[in-house]
């Protein structure tokens, strides 16, 4: 019987997302407050003799996810094999429930889930060093490789302060019919800023113990920039704001927007007004554990 493990790859929202200076490497430093939500992809990893990736699910785009070699989940498994010398082969099955290009970290969540699954199966697991491997894959992957529902992150997401989650709240996601590539969002931001480079703020973890405190400092540097290219984003945020949320903002680099609520609002008005896809979920107070399937 082959070794196998499965895990739900939870999406994330950024409650604070500030984009700082561009480094010599070409990547920007960030300062962000991340929180996992219950919406998740399903990930199954098997140790095999070859290397394969199969994707299905309701959120899979009509054109698929692009070349296998560029997929973050596949790249994560390849990076794990190169770092540890194990396994020789793997087969990954993804069921996509997280909208693609929506700023919810679906690809990063898949990558983090694959790393966690392989480490569970490995004869010599990396343990805490798994986050170091994740840092080379993308800014959200280190957080989505940890076992924490909430964290502050700096740099390229590799500097993490894991935090106790705030009390769970309802999340209403509104997803328009277009994705936004992260690279495009960064390019738009850079072109508008020119030579201006903001400096990091000082976010004290002990000041983030309530949703009221988070709402007071919630900001997403991408939101005004993306909304100028896609005015529909501002319209969707305004619709959510009219429903009296704790906060409403763009998810990551877009294109989804989200509202945090004390109770589930009636989404029918949002559907009727916007025609966008509406997803109801919650903030997570725990991480879905890896389950061996062999």
Annotated catalytic residue, options 12, 96, 110, 221: 12
Locate 47 and state its tokens. Answer: 């140790």
Active site residue 96: no
Describe the chain by its helix, strand, coil percentages, rounded to 5: 30, 30, 40
User: Which of 38, 140, 262, 266 does the annotation list as catalytic?
Assistant: 140
Chain-centre distance for alpha carbon 51: 25
- Output the six-digit token pair for 120: 């569970």
In this structure, how many other beta carbons lie within 10 angstroms of the beta carbon of residue 186? 18
- CA–CA separation, 47 and 133 (whole Å): 19
Q: Where does residue 194 rank: exposed (0-12), middle (13-18), buried (19+ CB within 10 A)? A: exposed
Work out the angle at residue 79's Cα, subtended by the Cα atoms of residues 58 and 123, and round it to the nearest 5 degrees.
100
User: Of 236, 258, 259, which Cα lies nearest the Cα of 246?
Assistant: 259
Q: Please name the helix (run of DSSP H) or strand (run of DSSP E) that holds residue 117, with its range, or none.
A: helix 106-121
Verify whether residue 140 is a known catalytic residue. yes
Q: Give the residue numbers marked as catalytic.
A: 12, 140
């Amino acid at each position: 019987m082959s070794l196998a493990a499965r895990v739900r790859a939870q999406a994330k929202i950024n409650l604070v997302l500030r984009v700082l200076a561009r480094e010599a490497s070409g990547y920007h430093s960030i300062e962000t407050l991340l929180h996992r939500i219950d919406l998740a992809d399903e990930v199954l990893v098997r140790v095999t003799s070859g290397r394969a990736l199969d994707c299905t699910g309701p959120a899979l785009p009509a054109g698929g996810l692009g070349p296998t070699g560029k997929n973050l989940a596949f790249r994560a498994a390849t990076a794990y094999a190169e770092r540890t010398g194990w396994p020789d082969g793997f087969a990954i099955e993804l069921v996509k429930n997280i909208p693609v290009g929506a700023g919810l970290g679906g690809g990063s969540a898949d990558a983090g889930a694959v790393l966690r699954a392989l480490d569970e199966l490995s004869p010599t697991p990396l343990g805490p060093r798994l986050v170091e491997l994740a840092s080379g894959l993308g800014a959200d992957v280190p957080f989505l490789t940890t076992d924490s529902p909430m964290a502050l992150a700096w740099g390229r997401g590799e500097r993490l302060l894991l935090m106790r989650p705030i009390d769970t709240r309802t999340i209403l996601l509104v997803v328009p019919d277009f994705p936004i590539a992260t690279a495009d969002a960064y390019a738009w931001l850079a072109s508008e800023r020119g030579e201006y480079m903001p400096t990091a703020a000082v976010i004290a973890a002990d000041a983030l113990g309530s949703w009221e405190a988070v709402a007071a400092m919630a900001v997403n540097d991408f939101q005004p920039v993306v909304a100028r290219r896609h005015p529909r984003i501002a319209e969707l945020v305004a619709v959510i704001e009219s429903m009296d949320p704790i906060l409403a903002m763009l998810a990551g680099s877009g294109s989804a927007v989200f509202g945090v609520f004390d109770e589930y609002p009636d989404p029918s008005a949002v559907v009727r007004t916007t025609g966008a896809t509406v997803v109801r979920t919650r903030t997570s107070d725990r991480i879905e554990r890896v389950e061996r399937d062999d």
